[in-house]
Amino acid sequence: MAIYEDLSLHVRLFMKSYPFSRYTIAPTPCARLAKPIERSRVALVTTAGLRCEGQSDFDRSDKRGDPSFREIPNTIETSRLVESHRSYSFDHEAVRSDVNLAFPLDRFRELDSRGAIGALNHRHFSFMGSIVGPRRLIDKTAPQVAQMLAEDRVDAVFLTPV
Amino acid sequence: MCQQTVGLLQASIERAGMATVSISLLREVTSVIKPPRALFVPFPMGYPLGEPNNAPLQRRIIAAALGLLERDGVPILEDFK
- Angstrom CA distances, B66 to A22, A116, A159, B22, stand at 28, 10, 11, 9
ipTM, 2 decimals?
0.98
The per-residue pLDDT for range A55-94, each reduced to its tens digit, is 999 999 998 999 999 999 999 999 999 998 888 788 899 9
Domain range for B71 is 2-79
Ramachandran assignment for B59, one of left (phi > 0), alpha (psi -120 to 50 degrees), beta (any other): alpha
Q: Please report the pLDDT score of residue A37 as a whole number.
A: 97
Chain B residues in contact with A143 (beta carbon < 8 A): 12, 16
Q: Please report the pLDDT score of residue A86 as a whole number.
A: 87
Q: Please report the pLDDT score of residue A7 as a whole number.
A: 76
Surface of A (115-144) touching B: CB under 8 A: 117, 127, 129-132, 134, 137-138, 142-143
CB atoms closer than 10 angstroms to residue A10: 10
* Domain ranges, ordered by start, for chain A: 33-160
Q: Do B9 and A102 touch (CB under 8 A)?
A: no
* Full pLDDT tens readout for chain B, 81 residues: 888 999 999 999 999 999 999 999 999 899 999 999 999 999 999 999 999 999 999 999 999 999 999 998 889 999 999
H helix runs in A34-119, sequence order:
92-97, 105-113
pTM attached to this predicted model: 0.95
Minimum-distance CB partner of B17 among A4, A48, A150? A150
| Tally of domains within chain B | 1
